Amino acid sequence: MRSAKKQYAVIGLGRFGLSVCQELSRAGAQVLAIDVDEERVKTAIEYSTEVIVANCAQEETVAELKLEEYDMVMIAIGSDINASILTTLVLKEAHCKTVWVKANDRFHARILHKVGADRVIMPEREMGIRIANQMIDKRVKDFHPLGSGIALTEVIVSAKMLGKSLADMSLCREEGVSVIALKRGPEVIASPSYKKSLEIGDVIIIVGPEVILAQKLRTL
């Protein structure tokens, strides 16, 4: 019988894959760490429920590991693009529930989308976007691209916005943009009323089209 805990498999244990294992483990998830390199597998023992040396580009290996039973599989294979693509294809053909894949560049990402990856992650690009938006406006606490042209951002209310409501913010009136929560100290208000007055230090959590968020954040 499967554990009630979420179960994740991470294939590829370079710096990115190992970081994913660490965070999943810290969150209390069950983690299966996989790599073709025995030394890398050893480094993941501390952060994983189970570790194994295996090549998941082989159909029989994926079947033996029963990866289709896992809640999500992350393919974090680094420089071997062929192995990354083939592993993605094998996992999707094995009917794995959700497959996320790390891509090295846009060309790699396009191929991964075509072979069925549920989400393609470009860590350096996504981090660059987050940092750039924070550099442009210090009121932007964080900026997270979510894929498919959608992003989530956290905006800190400044003195300029004091006394205004969410309805007064042009960003919140844009089509496709939604305020999903307002944090005020330890209190988190889910789906707040757009008539609610803002206070300095409030954190507004907004989700919407990445292009619109990036443009409008500069006008707050």
List pLDDT tens digits, range 181-200: 998 888 889 989 888 888 88
Distance CA 34, CA 50 (A): 9
Residues of the chain with CATH 3.30.70.1450: 125-219
The DSSP code sequence of 18-79 is: HHHHHHHHHTT-EEEEEES-HHHHHHTGGG-SEEEE--TTSHHHHHHHTGGGSSEEEE---S
**DSSP conformational letter for 167:** G
Residue 53 — pLDDT band, cuts 50, 70, 90?
very high
Domain with CATH 3.40.50.720 in the chain: 7-121
Coarse DSSP helix, strand, coil percentages of the chain, rounded to the nearest 5 percent:
40, 30, 35
Is pLDDT at 177 greater than 60 in this prediction?
yes
Can you give the C-alpha Rg of the chain in angstroms? 20
**Which amino acid is residue 88, in one-letter code?**
T
Predicted confidence band of residue 49 (pLDDT cuts 50, 70, 90): very high
The whole-model pTM stands at: 0.61
33-47, 70-84, 106-120, 127-141: the lowest-pLDDT one? 127-141
Mean model confidence pLDDT for the chain? 85
143, two tokens: 């900026």
The pLDDT of residue 86 is 96
Q: Where are the alpha helices (DSSP H) in 27-178?
A: 38-43, 59-65, 81-93, 106-114, 123-136
Phi, psi values for residue 191, rounded to 5°: 45, 60
**Does the pLDDT of residue 1 top 60, yes or no?**
no
CATH topology of domain 7-121: Rossmann fold (3.40.50)
At 121-154, the pLDDT tens digits run 887 666 665 555 555 444 555 677 787 788 888 8
114: pLDDT strictly greater than 80: yes
CATH superfamily of the 125-219 domain: Regulator of K+ conductance, C-terminal domain (3.30.70.1450)
